[in-house]
Copies of this chain bind each other. A is one copy, B any other.
Amino acid sequence: MSKKYNISVEATLEVIGGKWKPVILCHLIHGKKRTGELKRLIPKITQKMLTQQLRELEHDGIINRIVYNQVPPKVEYELSEYGDSLREILHSLCLWGEHHIERTYGNSKDYLEDSVLNQ
């Protein structure tokens, strides 16, 4: 009848899978971000994909969308309380990536953009 998962990780992937969602969320674990900030932090993402992914994350209760009623518009995104339950996982995913880059290339400085995230 109802939708079945063969293994629970499939449910996780429905929510945070894909090319952009983990990236967006890894930025949000460092705090609230405006739309434009996210675009700057993720230079290769298009407006369309950014909005689309943010909408889905909001729909799944992972992030909050905070709209300030002003012109020009100001919108901020943050991890919701529920999304915060992903914090450790997201952090581990970032950490593993750093280790992997080092293992693969010998160092991470030359292959990883400097940013608040990679200290």
Q: Are A88 and B97 in contact (CB under 8 A)?
A: no
**What is the bound-complex CA distance between A22 and B23, given in angstroms?**
17
**In the complex, which residue of chain B has the Cβ closest to the Cβ of A86?**
B96
**Chain A, interface residues (CB within 8 Å), range:** 35 or more
| A50 sits at the interface (CB 8 A) | no
- Given A13-B19, A111-B3, are A95 and B8 also a contact pair (CB < 8 Å)? yes
Question: What string of 1s and 0s marks CB contacts (under 8 Å) between A78-119 and chain B?
Answer: 000010011011101111111111011100101111010110
**What is the bound-complex CA distance between A26 and B5, given in angstroms?**
13
Q: Are B3 and A23 in contact (CB under 8 A)?
A: no
**What is the bound-complex CA distance between A88 and B91, given in angstroms?**
12
